Amino acid sequence: MKQKLRVLGFSKYVTDHPWWILLLTLIAVSGMSIGVRNLTLETDYRVYFSEGNPQLVAFEEIQDIYNKSDSVLFIVEPKGGTVFTPKTLEAIQLLTEKAWKIPYSSRVDSITNFQHTQANEDDLIVADLVINPQVSAEEIEKIKQVALHEPLLVNRLVSNKGHVSGINVTLQFPGESPFEATKVATSVRLLATEIEKIYPDIKIHLTGMAMFTNAFVESAMDDNKTLVPLMYAVVILVLFISLRSFSATFSVIILIIFSVISALGIAGWLGWYLTSTSAIAPTIILTMAIADCVHILATQLHNMRIGHEKKKAIQESLVINFSPVFLTSITTAIGFLSMNFSDAPPFRDLGNIVAIGVILAWLFSVTFLPALMSILPIKVKPKDELDNSLMEHLAEWVIEYRKSLLIFNAILALLIISFIPQNQLNDEFVKYFDKSTEFRQSTDFLNENMGGIYTLEFSIHANGTGAISEPKFLQNVQQFNDWLSTQPEIIHTNTITDTFKRLNKNMHGDNEEWYRLPEQRELAAQYLLLYEMSLPYGLDLNDQINIDKSGIRVIATLESMSSNQVIALEERIEQWLSQNMTDYKVELASPILMFSHIGSRNIIGMVTGSAIALVLISLILIIAFKSIKLGMISLVPNLIPAGVAFGIWALIDGQVGLGISVVSGMTLGIVVDDTVHFISKYRHARIDKAMDKEDAVRYAFSTVGIAISITSVVLVAGFMMLSLSHFSMNSEMGLLTAITIAVALFMDLLLLPPLIMSMEKK
């Protein structure tokens, strides 16, 4: 009673001093929203890994020693079906020359500038494989034979059939701007278009890790350009149809805008940045902010329709809804804050920004919204108190068939939940983008025709400076390389041992019998020095050996693989190394390994976060309802939706990636909302109105049934909008969240009431 009196006093103050409330709100929002100018967009895919991530640490160590892996790969597809024609080789040569001018370019490799070696008596000749493409058919055939038999080229820069070729541009990003990859993408697209105009018989596809990074940028920008306006349109339409009030709809839209820009502003003041994942925070805040507004406005409009004066109707609505909307906001915020247990920083940022937005939306809902509504004109049509015939009929049906509904829904839920084990933890970072994106199309073309974008990088350390020339070390590396080549998942391997063998053959009159590793350290070192001195600027060996020649990098190119397959291959490789290469330190890392491991690590973190969130939410509900029984009952329709949703997901897709792994924790706080509102109205009827349990259920359906249906429809619509994203982390997360919320509404209307009635005494 004391709490209600305090809320009544608060509501009277808000409605009696609306202009002061509006002024203070505008000042506060202005102060918070200024921080938006501090927000930056972080585009590097490495942001998905925390600083201590072991795979990231290993990858960065290799990157610090050798050339960076950031690159753009031009894939040249001639219409004639072969790259070995004067015209196509001319196009590749021109593209190779122009690619040096791409921003941040540090190295360009293609079949035309491949440093081919051959002997001329006692001299070693090192020169571009293609010096002049306008040569005879006989010379073209020689070039083709060299290219298709060179291990460093086949399935790396030319297909084994010779029908497509690649130009790889290595980049050195300074890390000064989040749009460096975008700058490169713009440049390479212009260059590709230029070459295609000059040579209309070829088509150029663009892929590589730089284009992968750029795809993150473009997906974030595209989502905010298309999904946010679309979501606003859906929200306005649903609100206007549901509330049937222009003033109410207008007020909610203003509140949403205030919540979004304030939350982003606070993120800016705190020095956070946006990523492709956290950039969807405005869409989620927009969706979540509606819930509190709808309950407060629905009750207000209901009170006005039964004859209450506007100001009194607002005050009564605040008194009835203050506690439920506070509870739902807190539990929703806790659910999103549980994302801090994610191993991927962008999901932590998303959870924190949305949690801030949810709390701000609640604060604006109990201050700004009633103040604004008290001064806006509102027209309603008078109706009876229990005017909701649809919900009345549903309530009667649920009460009559409560035992059957309880049994049926429980069996149905258990049946669908039983499909959960069929889900597989899997991720492929190429498939983070749907087939409509340029990066995905080009990468799929690469996988089908020449090689792949997935690689494993090995840094094999010899025992001392210059020790890579030791015959034993080279033999061990070659043995490892030969074993890698036999693995069915590996398309190509790139290692310096192939160069050593070729040099040994060259220095023995190009005799094929000498195509083997040198047998003396001094001889190997001399070959290497002679070769290095003959290389042109920009085509040194830093991508294969370190500066003091104490280590070699081996790069294995993989076919398109799932994360489970990558991890299985990694385990197989480590087992082979532990048995066959114990004398040397070998480090293994790559982006595909990083993404393969983070999914399982993220699941573990989110299970922990969800468990803690569940405990906190349970305690809050028990304290709020002052009943352990009601607190425990409320958990049933809140735990079942996530389980049912993952069971449905097993039937729809069955692949649980990084985006899916955060859904259970995120939705836990969301699905509690409807349960809290229903039980709050039920308790109000039982305690304050002294109704029996059947009448209390009827009252809850009549007063809150439409409101929770509206909020659920808006939430489902909002997250379904996310499912339209071209970025699968967002689209899959949005779709599964929408399924979870839809299941939660079903359970709150058809399982929760029978459950309460079965547990409650007369």
Q: Strand runs (DSSP E) across 187-257, as ranges?
A: 202-207
Q: Which of 41-50, 263-272, 630-639 has the lowest mean pLDDT?
A: 630-639
Give the distance from CA 91 to its chain's centroid. 37
The percentage of residues in the chain with a pLDDT greater than 90, rounded to a whole number, is: 36
CATH number of 69-207: 3.30.70
pLDDT: which is higher, 490 or 710: 490
Per-residue pLDDT, 642: 86
Per-residue pLDDT, 388: 62
* HEC sequence for 363-402: HHHHCHHHHHHHHCCCCCCCCCCCCCHHHHHHHHHHHHCH
pLDDT one-digit tens code per residue, 388-403: 678 888 889 999 999 9
- Token reading at 595: 């993404």
Between the ranges 227-236, 284-293, 585-594, 678-687, where is the mean pLDDT highest?
Answer: 585-594
- Residues with Cβ < 8 Å from 648, sequence gap 6 or more? 416, 419, 739, 743
- Token reading at 560: 């398109």
Amino acid sitting at position 28: A
219 and 278 Cβ atoms separated by less than 8 Å = no
Q: How far apart are CA 184 and CA 52, in angstroms?
A: 29
- Token reading at 509: 């009159």
Between the ranges 117-121, 310-314, 758-762, where is the mean pLDDT highest?
Answer: 310-314
Domain limits, CATH 1.20.1640.10, in the chain: 2-34+213-431+595-759
What is the pTM for the complete model shown?
Answer: 0.83
**Model confidence at 115: pLDDT above 80:** yes
* CATH fold label, 2-34+213-431+595-759: Multidrug efflux transporter AcrB transmembrane fold (1.20.1640)
Domain limits, CATH 3.30.70, in the chain: 69-207
pLDDT one-digit tens code per residue, 116-160: 888 877 778 888 999 988 888 899 999 999 999 988 899 999 999
Task: Return the axis-axis angle of helices 591-625 and 310-337, rounded to nearest 10°.
Answer: 140
Contacts 24+ apart (CB under 8 A), 297-300: 297/243, 297/245, 297/248, 297/251, 297/252, 297/369, 297/373, 298/242, 298/243, 298/706, 298/707, 298/710, 299/703, 299/707, 300/370, 300/373
Mean of the pLDDT values across residues 23-40? Answer: 93
Cα within 13 Å of Cα(221), Cβ side = 12
Q: How far apart are CA 629 and CA 618, in angstroms?
A: 11
Q: Give DSSP secondary structure letters for 488-522.
A: TTEEEEE-THHHHHHHHHHTTTT-GGG-S--SSHH
At 430 the three-state DSSP class reads helix
Q: How far apart are CA 319 and CA 198, in angstroms?
A: 73
pLDDT one-digit tens code per residue, 713-726: 888 887 888 888 88
Mean pLDDT for the chain overall: 87
Classify the phi-psi angles of 125: left when phi > 0, otherwise alpha if psi is within -120 to 50, otherwise beta: beta
Q: How far apart are CA 86 and CA 84, in angstroms?
A: 7
Q: Which of 92-106, 169-183, 436-450 has the lowest mean pLDDT?
A: 169-183
Per-residue pLDDT, 384: 47
- Token reading at 201: 């018989």
398 and 750 Cβ atoms separated by less than 8 Å = yes
Q: Which of 543, 521, 520 is nearest to 115 (CA)?
A: 543
Give the distance from CA 646 to its chain's centroid. 18
Mean of the pLDDT values across residues 465-491? Answer: 92
Per-residue pLDDT, 383: 60
- Token reading at 176: 């000064």
Neighbours of 241 (CB within 10 A): 11
pLDDT one-digit tens code per residue, 195-220: 999 999 999 999 998 998 888 888 87
Contacts 24+ apart (CB under 8 A), 354-357: 354/263, 354/281, 354/284, 354/285, 354/288, 356/262, 356/263, 356/266, 356/267, 357/259, 357/260, 357/262, 357/263, 357/281, 357/284, 357/285, 357/288, 357/289
Q: Cα separations (Å) of 653 from 141, 537, 728?
A: 48, 50, 13
- Token reading at 677: 């509102």
Per-residue pLDDT, 2: 64
Strands 123-128, 202-207: pairing kind: unpaired
Instruction: Kindly indicate the confidence band of residue 1, based on its pLDDT and cuts at 50, 70 and 90.
Output: low
**Is 145 buried (19+), middle (13-18) or exposed (0-12) by CB count in 10 A?**
exposed
378 and 314 Cβ atoms separated by less than 8 Å = no
Give the distance from CA 573 to its chain's centroid. 29
* HEC sequence for 713-739: HHHHHHHHHHCCCCEHHHHHHHHHHHH
Task: Return the axis-axis angle of helices 310-337 and 368-375, rounded to nearest 10°.
Answer: 150
Give the distance from CA 112 to its chain's centroid. 38
Instruction: Kindly indicate the confidence band of residue 761, based on its pLDDT and cuts at 50, 70 and 90.
Output: low
Amino acid sitting at position 64: D
The neighbouring-strand residues paired with 109 are 168
644 and 413 Cβ atoms separated by less than 8 Å = yes
Instruction: Kindly indicate the confidence band of residue 556, based on its pLDDT and cuts at 50, 70 and 90.
Output: very high
pLDDT one-digit tens code per residue, 321-341: 888 888 889 988 998 898 898
Between the ranges 227-241, 477-491, 620-634, where is the mean pLDDT highest?
Answer: 477-491
Give the distance from CA 677 to its chain's centroid. 32
**What is the Cα Rg of the chain in Å?**
32
Write out the H or E segment, with its range, that includes residue 166.
Answer: strand 165-171
Write out the H or E segment, with its range, that includes residue 71.
Answer: strand 71-78
Cα within 13 Å of Cα(490), Cβ side = 21
Q: Which of 75, 171, 157 is nearest to 116 (CA)?
A: 157
Altogether, the residues listed in the chain come to a count of: 762
Q: Which of 91-95, 454-458, 636-640 has the lowest mean pLDDT?
A: 636-640
Strands 165-171, 71-78: pairing kind: antiparallel
